[in-house]
Amino acid sequence: MRKLRFFAGLSWVLISCNSLIAQPTFPENGVADPRHGYYAFTHATIMKDGATSLTDATLVIKDGKIISVGAGLAVPAGAVEVDCKGKYIYPSFIDIYSDYGTPQRQQTGGGGFFNFNQPIQTESNTKGPYGWNQAIKSDVDVYKVFNVNDANAKPMREAGFGAVLTHVKDGVARGTGAVVTLANEKENMVILKEKASANYSFNKGTSQQAYPSSMMGYIALLRQTYLDAQWYKSKPWQEGFNATLQSWNDNQNLPQIFEAGDKWNDLRADKIGDEFGVQYIIKAGQNEYQRIKEMKATNATFILPLNYPQAQDVEDPNDAKLVSLEDMKHWELAPTECAAFEKAGIPFCLTTADLRSPSSFWTNLRKAMEYGLSEAKAIEALTKTPAMTLGIYDRVGSLDAGKIANFLVTNGPIFGEKTNILYNYIQGIKYSVKTEDNIAGTYNVTVNTPSGTETYTLDVKSMTSATMWGKDTMNTKFSFDGKQIKLAYAPMPKRQRPQMPAGTDSTRRTSGFPAGFGRGGTTTPELPANATRLGGISNGTEWNGTGLDSLGNSLTWTAVFVKTAEVKSDSVKKKEVPVVGKVIYPFMPFGNDEEHLPKQETILIKNATVWTSEKDGILQNTDVLLKGGKIAAIGKNLNEPGAKIIDGTGKHVSPGIIDEHSHIAAASINEGAQSVTSEVRIGDNVMPDDINIYRQLSGGVTSSHILHGSANPIGGQTQLLKLRWGANAEDMKFKDWTGQIKFALGENVKRSNFNIPGGNTRYPDTRMGVEQVYVDAFSRAKDYKKEWDEYNAAKDKLIKEKKPLAGLNPPRRDLELDALVEILTNKRFITCHSYVQSEITGLIEVAEKMGFKVNTFTHILEGYKVADRMLKHGANASTFSDWWAYKMEVEDAIPYNAAIMHKVGLNVAINSDDAEMARRLNQEAAKTMKYGGLSAEEALALVTINPAIMLHVDDRVGSIKVGKDADVVVWSDSPVSIYAKSLYTIVDGTVYFDRQKDEQMQKDIEAERTRLVKKLNGEKRSGSPTIPAIPTYSIMHTCSDHGHSHGFLVIDADEIDNN
Amino acid sequence: MKKILSFIITIAFGTVAFAQSNVLPAPAQKGVMYVKNATIHVGNGKVIENGVIQVRDGKIEKVGNDITIPAGETNVIDAKGKQIYPGLILPVSSLGLIEIGAVRASNDVREMGDLNPNVRSIVAYNTDSKVINTLRSNGVLAANIVPQGSFLAGSSSLVQLDAWTWTDAAVQIDGGMHLYMPSLIARPAFGRFGGGMPGGPNASGQQTDPVKEGLEKIETLKAFFREAKAYNAAAIHDETNLKYEAVRNLFDKKQKFYVHANQVKQMLVALDFIKEFGFDVVIVGGSESWQIADLLKQHNVSVILQQMHSLPTSNDADIDQPYKAAAILQKAGVTFAISDDDNQTRGRNLPFNAGTAVTYGLSKEEALAAITLNAAKIMGVADKTGSIEVGKEANFIISSGDLLDMGTSNVTDAFIQGRKIILDDKQKQLNDRYEQKYDLKPKKGF
């Protein structure tokens, strides 16, 4: 209710053109001076909103509000008339993504990745009755810290904005935002709505607490907070008073704005919202045009920034080649972002956020329009849409009676090339933006010299340019600042005097000067020292002033307006929409445009050597038919009309390779801030724009199991992917798969090998402690399960007895323990990073005591020492072929490991843990022939059917068998030979890698690069600003286990500072 | 053969500790020895079918398929159906300087400071490293032991891998000086995971100009060399400067100048050291060397490709680019060797790196040269080793199958200076131990 009273109070307020607002509750130091700012703007072209235009119309305002608007309205008595003939009036713009007037902050924590080498701050630094995580600042209300800041408001006003939604841009939950105007008035008056939004982001801001340290962690933190807040509603005694959760709940009925800032993050945010019944308004980045269909599917309203990548200086071919195609394409296509949203029918607002300065807003807005954004949509995105989005369209966003008097007066259609905003009225207060340039025209000048009166004609072209002549044309300097005039003149030097056209006299010459005359200043020489110099004041159509003549005599002068200059019509120049390249999927080299996306086909591979990874073994001269995404038939002389034929003569066909341990295609891998992070999920941050997907395909890999890293004993939930190059994150996922979770043992989780300032502070520090982490986690999980079982039983009982459920509060849902309960109930499988025999046996013992099973030991380099124990437990083993000696716990690693474990009877796989080695997994498997003497078939099984078994997907992939998914590879040679290349890699019957097509793509990439480099060079030559070329680096995620280098543009995620 | 094998097995079985204390360096080879019936891959591109190698006192006396073995000669190895290759040479390695990567106490590879020309790898080379024998098992019989560093890192030495001490091991001491070229490309600031993979232009990222900084640093090195040259030209000195003295051999090409560089600009800058100082420059790394193969050839610069099994430098590049680099250098006539700097396998995959180069354009014999004779040429020891040719040390290996393909590669015998070395290693011993545990091994009757 406080809010309503506050705004009721606003109508009491007196508004004056002197920006003087007196509040009734504030004592007056002087004489009362009540004013109402009662004005009528007449004869204007008024754009009430993006759709309605009134000509010769009147806008009446009073007390900061619009009284009436319409064509031909009478000027009310008591109102001051402002003649706006030739002028246009628009609603002032609204920016709903601003931190205007908020305190400066130090960005310290930021986003970033988990860094193995950084100390871990486990607790929040915020004192008071707040929640556990410092980045959840839902208790922050911007109106409490907001201060009017005219220095920052001014450039925004000049860009046309009248109101903004401001919030404190700090933290994952950022509390509430307020709608404020950009008037330079007391805070009481400019705050239109003190709680207008609740804001969120994937950025810790100033929080130095370690958690979250990954994209997955951000998502988990938000999800858990939604659950905690829900639980908190019942005021559980265990929690006491928690201001953070209370505010979180209070803020839920406000518009929810999420700063995602990137196409994939937009979708990640939207998915969180979907889970908890929240439709976020999404603050986008610049790359959403790359996935516009997915954006549309969010049903969100977007807030689009207009900062576009700057052109890079790629003139040096050496620099150019390090700039990847996607960066150059993005530079070219980013300005199409708004147009893409408009075309797709997605509602959006525009913001000045992310711009280096609001002054570049217009440049970039015009660029967006040049690239297809319509005028009507631009206006809407700056007025109505933001107002509707925040539910304040009754106050701002159009020019209708009763709304706040926020409007722009321009000297032409707002998007005209030469149009300027003259005034920005905010709450009825006039803020001049650009001095009206209405001086152009012809004037008769009379100079009263001691020797008599001289008359001249003055042709004023602009505020800085004019030409004067009497008998002869004078050398003239002119300036006008809106009030004061300076005029100096002297006869033209003889040589320079232009020819006058014959038969013209001064009075007729109002336009059509000979070429070169006075234009551009090219023929105007410097004025001599003895020029006559006049200074004066404009009194409107008449000017008066004094001066000194060439001899130093004082004089007076007047000038009278004769006629206006011819106004050239100015409209938005209809530029051709620039020609740009196509959006490709994924937005990377080797991506395909929409027309050329790989499609599922019926494929008949003829007469090949088929490695089935089944009992059938290797079949010679055999055909394989792929149809409807499945393996439809295996046999001799198969026939399928219409099928694409691949001649397999001399070639080999194998099942698609499955990589049990990979870290590609994810935005983050390690949430290492806590010892147990089973709540985080790789599946929340799948990243389809990873060139390594394509590269793995080239090595015959069709499925990759993306694991959480090894930063902590219980890491995150894993995600099995099919390498559907070009698909979005959800479509990459292996469907109907029972999830797994990463565990880790040994040196990484006890943080032994890192240079942490101050040493390790996160429990555990020894293998003894590691074991206790598991005992503790599963003890808690069991207690948790019991609590829920009891609750559910009690609930069922009440329902059965038809008694009310009131008073029976559900236990707090804990995402971390949920995942552990899933393990206990066989709904989630473990894959455990492990090396030495003691820890392997240790975990097996914990598992057997607690009643769960370790599905897979991954790495498992000492598995050969306890293979019998693993077999008894029922574990699978997934290992490297020949890695060792890079750290203490792999001192006893041997390349015979896989063979021994296999011979003992374990189901064994060879994995990569490395984006490069994954391209050669068939060769890594072949090493078991050398080390341990496995047969070629056994070797191949290590990367096909065996990993499929441990991933529990062997009913669908991993072998060539009728009815299984058509995930197959056609090789040039035996798949266990180093000389074999994948010719076709097929997933679900879709050819995602085709070595011949790849060659063509390389040529296409080269051509597209050449085109873009030319364009960028053209940009530089045309004088546009450029920045130095920035090499396109990629970030590589690993277990942080090893030091395999990948090229000088690859950076290990662990090496990146959190700042 | 069988005798040797069972000897090894017996030793392994009888060993409790895994210190390889039983893998003794072989004594000097005396007299004559023959290997017959083999397919001999000479290392220089030639293949001799059904050939004989005649070794005397550690050196190759004869090689060919027209050599008659005297009747009654007992020291004859029958390599029927097998392949013989020169001992592989790992041209850049931290072998013996790093035992366990993550254990600081076991690392002696990187001295502090930027300017360490006086630092010598050979004195830290540990002949008892357990890693060494795993390389021998795959056919690597020599390695260039290279110090690492941030700039001028010190000198490397070539060792053979069957020795009691480093003095025994040394084949060529201080043969190379190693410069780690500063990066000459900009690196933006990272921090936020936008889509997960930052990579786009980052306006706020450029604090300093790393290219300029790098070039300035190289200028300081040139100034150092100018001073060193003058110092070494002078007959007497008031005071001793160890660093100046350490680079003396570069100026008369008695020492190679290894420039660790991957970027085109770095490699072009490296040419300065030829132009101004007349150094014998070898590029190490060279991931972009294929782009300037003709220039490298023109300036007689050789290249050591350090990591075949790498991802392409840029997203746009041919996905197999690193695999194809060798073939491009070959075509341009650049002398190049292939190395293996993988920290997890420590160089034992050297033959397979060469195998990959075969898949992507080299002939098998060219690939073999890249891990044998070319490496010897680059180090200036081709008169002694690197191929199976008369007069050279008898450094060769016998494999039952194609050495370059892991499915068939199987080194059964190896000879260093004619000495038949023991091809056992810690890993084989552990394998034996656990095959016993699980009763996996077919009974051999002992």
Distances (CA, A) of A769 to A118, A430, A796, A838, A841: 20, 69, 40, 13, 15
The pLDDT-based confidence of A569 (bands split at 50, 70, 90) is low
Which residue, among A1041, A322, A1037, A112, has the nearest Cα to B183 in the 3D structure? A322
pLDDT band at A214 (very low <50, low <70, confident <90, very high): very high
When pLDDT is cut at 50, 70 and 90, the band that residue A512 belongs to is very low
Among all residues of chain A, which has the CA nearest to that of B185?
Answer: A1031
Render pLDDT for B133-147 as a digit per residue (tens, 0 to 9).
999 999 999 999 999
Boundary (domain end) residue, out of A518, A538, A564: A564
Q: Which of A310, A896, A981 sits opposite B427 (nearest CB)?
A: A896
CATH number at residue A399: 3.20.20.140
Query: Looking at chain B from residue 94 to 113, which residues have their Cβ under 8 Å from any Cβ of chain A?
Result: 99-103
A470 pLDDT band (50/70/90 cuts)?
Answer: confident
Taking residues A293-314, what's their average pLDDT? 96
Q: Which of B126, B434, B436, B440 to mutate to test the interface with A (most CBs of A within 10 A)?
A: B434
Contacts of A265 in chain B (CB under 8 A): 194-195
Q: DSSP per residue over B292-317, as a string?
A: GHHHHHHTT-EEEE-BSS---SSTTS
Q: How far is CA B432 from the centre of its chain?
A: 29
pLDDT (0 to 100) of residue A313: 93
- Average pLDDT over chain A reads 91
Q: Indicate the residue of B102, B200, B307 with minimum beta-carbon distance to A887.
A: B102
How far, in Å, CA of A816 to CA of B217, rounded? 51
Residue B101: which of A203, A1032, A1043 has the nearest Cβ? A1043
Same domain, A424 and A462: no
Query: Lowest-confidence range among A763-767, A779-783, A1037-1041, A1055-1059?
Result: A1055-1059
| Averaged pLDDT, B92-107 | 96
Strand order from edge to edge, sheet including A829-834: A714-717, A740-744, A829-834, A856-859, A876-879, A908-910
Say whether A149 sits in a helix, a strand or coil.
coil
Residue A58: which of A294, A292, A399 has the closest Cα?
A399
Tokens of B266: 């770095």
Same domain, A459 and A417: no
- Euclidean distance between CA atoms A40 and A69, whole angstroms: 9
Each residue's pLDDT tens digit, A962-1013: 999 999 999 999 999 999 999 999 999 999 999 999 999 999 999 999 999 9
Q: Is B27 on the interface with A (CB under 8 A)?
A: no
Q: At what angle do helices A215-232 and A263-275 cross, to 10 degrees?
A: 20
The pLDDT-based confidence of A527 (bands split at 50, 70, 90) is confident
The residue type found at B290 is: W
CA A180 to chain B, closest CA, distance in angstroms equals: 30
Contact: B201, A331; criterion CB under 8 Å: yes
Structure confidence at residue A5 as a pLDDT band (50, 70, 90): very low
Residues A445 and A377 in one domain: no
Rounded Cα distance, B322 and A142, in Å:
54
The answer to whether the CB of A878 falls within 8 A of the CB of A661 is yes
Alpha-carbon distance of A723 to A735, in angstroms, equals: 12
CB contact under 8 A, A926 and B407: yes
Give the separation between CA A436 and CA A432, rounded to whole angstroms: 9
- The CATH T-level fold of domain B88-385 is TIM Barrel (3.20.20)
CATH at A475: 2.40.128.120
Any chain A CB within 8 A of the CB of B430? yes
Three-state secondary structure string covering A1021-1059: HCCCCEEECCCCCEEECCCCCCCCCCCCCEEEHHHCCCC
Q: Quote the mean pLDDT of chain B.
A: 91
User: Nearest CA of chain B to the CA of A958: how many Å?
Assistant: 21
Best A201, A670, A978 residue to mutate vs chain B (most B CBs within 10 Å)? A978
Is residue A363 classed exposed, middle or buried when 0-12, 13-18 and 19+ CB atoms within 10 A define those classes?
exposed
CA distance A857 to chain B (A): 19
- Mark which of A912, A937, A957 sits at the end of a domain: A957
- Give residue-wise pLDDT tens across range B327-370: 999 999 999 999 999 889 999 999 999 999 999 999 999 999 99
Residue A449's pLDDT is: 84
The residue to which tokens 């609603």 are assigned: A91
Considering the domain architecture, whether residues A209 and A287 belong to the same structural domain is answered as yes
The DSSP line for A185-221 is: S-HHHHEEEEEEEEEEES--TT-------SHHHHHHH
Q: Which residues of chain B neighbour A915 with C-beta distances below 8 Å? A: 311
Contacts of B196 in chain A (CB under 8 A): 215, 264, 666-668, 685, 687, 689, 1035
In a domain, A929, yes or no: yes
The most distant pair of C-alpha atoms in chain A lies apart, rounded to whole Å, by 122
Q: Which residue has the tokens 């004559």?
A: B32
Three-state DSSP class for A968?
Answer: strand
Q: How far is the C-alpha of A45 from the C-alpha of A55, rounded, in Å?
A: 4
- B186 touching chain A per CB within 8 A: yes
Output the pLDDT for position A1024. Answer: 86
CA distance A918 to B81: 34
pLDDT for A836 equals 97
Q: Considering all CA atoms of chain B, what is the largest pairwise distance in Å, rounded to the nearest integer?
A: 81
Q: pLDDT per residue over A322-341, tens digit each? A: 999 999 999 999 999 999 99
Q: pTM of the prediction?
A: 0.91
Nearest to B359 among A884, A932, A981 (CB): A981
In chain B, residues with a C-beta closer than 8 Å to the C-beta of A357 are none
In 3D, which of B41, B60, B24 has the Cα closest to residue B351? Answer: B41
Helix (H) or strand (E) holding B173, with range, is: strand B170-180
Beta strands in A827-963 (DSSP E): 829-834, 856-859, 876-879, 908-910
C-alpha span between A413 and A419 (Å, rounded)? 7
Question: A208 and A338: one domain?
Answer: yes
User: Which residues pair with residue A818 across a beta bridge?
Assistant: none
ipTM: 0.94
SS (H, E, C) A496-550: HCCCCCCCCCHHHCCCCCCCCCCCCCCCCCCCCCCCEEEEEEECCCEEEEEEECC
A to B CB pairs, distance under 8 Å:
259
Q: Averaging pLDDT over each range in A9-18, A487-496, A615-624, which range is the top one? A: A615-624
Averaged pLDDT, A231-253: 96
Inter-chain touch A1043–B343, beta carbons under 8 Å: yes
Whole-number Å distance between alpha carbons of A217 and A133? 12
Distance of CA A825 to the CA centre of its chain: 39
CB A902 within 8 A of CB A938: yes
How far is Cα A853 from Cα A874, in angstroms, rounded to an integer? 8
CA-angle at A999, arms to A995 and A1001, nearest 5°: 110
Percent of chain A with pLDDT over 70: 92
Cβ count near A132 (within 10 Å): 17
> Residue B45 pLDDT more than 80?
yes
- Judge whether residue A921 has pLDDT over 70: yes
Q: Residue B443's pLDDT is what?
A: 55
Residues A551 and A428 reside in one and the same domain: no
Which pLDDT value is given to residue A575?
Answer: 65
Any idea which of A173-182, B8-17, B227-236 has the lowest mean pLDDT? B8-17
CA pair distance A118, A672, nearest whole angstrom: 11
Nearest Cα to Cα of residue A534 among A476, A494, A574, A483: A476
- A741, amino acid identity: I
Cα A729 to the center of its chain, rounded Å: 16
Give the confidence band of B14 by pLDDT, cuts at 50, 70, 90.
very low
Looking at residue B206, its pLDDT comes to 44
> Token digits for A566?
């011819």
* Same domain membership, residue A481 and residue A403: no
Q: Do A936 and B198 touch (CB under 8 A)?
A: no
Q: Which residues of A fall within a CB distance of 8 Å from B352?
A: 923, 978
Q: Is residue A690 part of a domain?
A: yes
Evaluate whether residue A501 is within a structural domain: no
Structure tokens at A1040: 């942080």
In this structure, is residue A928 part of a structural domain? yes
Percent of chain B with pLDDT over 70: 90
How far apart, in Å, are the Cα atoms of B321 and each of A368, B291, B360, B361? 38, 11, 9, 11
For B388-441, the pLDDT digits (tens) are 999 999 999 999 999 999 999 999 999 999 999 999 999 999 999 999 999 997
The pLDDT, as a whole number, for residue B19 is 52
Domain ranges of chain B: 88-385
Number of domains chain A is built from: 3
Q: Which of A41-45, A493-497, A976-980 has the lowest mean pLDDT?
A: A493-497
Residue A405 shares a structural domain with residue A464: no
Same domain, A536 and A486: yes
* Cis before A212? omega within 30: yes
Cβ–Cβ below 8 Å for A1028 and B345: no
CB neighbours of residue A638 within 10 Å = 16
Task: Answer yes or no: do A836 and A697 share one domain.
Answer: yes
Q: For residues A314 and A322, is the Cβ–Cβ distance under 8 A?
A: no
Give the per-residue pLDDT at A1050. Answer: 83
Residues in contact with A277: Cβ distance below 8 Å, sequence separation at least 6, in sequence order:
none
As a whole number of angstroms, the distance between CA A842 and CA B38 comes to 51
* Nearest alpha-carbon partner for A220 in A119, A321, A345, A133: A133
Asked whether residue A445 carries a pLDDT value surpassing 80, the answer given is yes
Is residue A274, in this structure, part of any structural domain at all? yes
* Residue B315: CB atoms within 10 Å: 27
Of B188, B218, B164, residue with least CA distance to B21: B164
As a whole number of angstroms, the distance between CA A685 and CA A383 comes to 34
A205 and A301 together in one domain: yes
Instruction: Report d(CA B171, CA B158) in Å as an integer.
Output: 5
Structure tokens at A979: 């000389």
Residue positions counted in chain B: 446
Tokens of A607: 């007469």
CA distances from A417 to A41, A51, A365, B24 (A): 24, 21, 12, 87
Tell me which DSSP letter residue A911 carries. Answer: -
For residue A931, give its domain range: 657-766+830-840+852-957
- Interface test mutation site (partner B, options A661, A1032, A1034, A1041, max chain B beta carbons within 10 A): A1032
Cβ–Cβ of A263/B195 closer than 8 Å? yes
Closest-CA residue of chain A to B430: A894
pLDDT tens column, A818-838: 999 999 999 999 999 999 999
CB contact under 8 A, A1009 and B100: no
Task: With respect to residue A760, please indicate whether it lies within any of the assigned structural domains.
Answer: yes
Examine the fold and report which residue of A957, A976, A1009 is the final residue of a domain before the chain moves on.
A957
Residues A421 and A447 occupy one common structural domain? no
Task: Tell whether the torsion through CA atoms of B48, B52, B56 and B62 is positive or negative.
Answer: negative
pLDDT 10s digits, A531-542: 889 999 988 888
Query: Is residue A813, in this structure, part of any structural domain at all?
Result: no
Q: B349: which 2 tokens?
A: 């995959």
B 366-385 near A (Cβ less than 8 A):
none
Question: What tens digit of pLDDT does each residue of A598-608 get?
Answer: 999 999 999 99
Minimum CA–CA partner of A863 in chain B: B434
Whether the CB of B400 is below 8 Å from some CB of chain A: the reply is no
Instruction: List, as ranges, residues 264-323 from B with C-beta within 8 Å of A.
Output: 264-265, 287, 307, 309-316, 318-320, 322
Q: Is B410 close to A1050, i.e. CB distance below 8 A?
A: no
Residue carrying structure tokens 């072949």: A926
Return the bridge partners of A1051, or none: A1035
Contact B315 A1034 (CB under 8 A): yes
| Identity of the residue in A689, A926, A1047 whose CB atom sits nearest the CB atom of B312 | A1047
A-chain CB neighbours of B349 within 8 Å are: 882
What single DSSP character describes residue A487? E
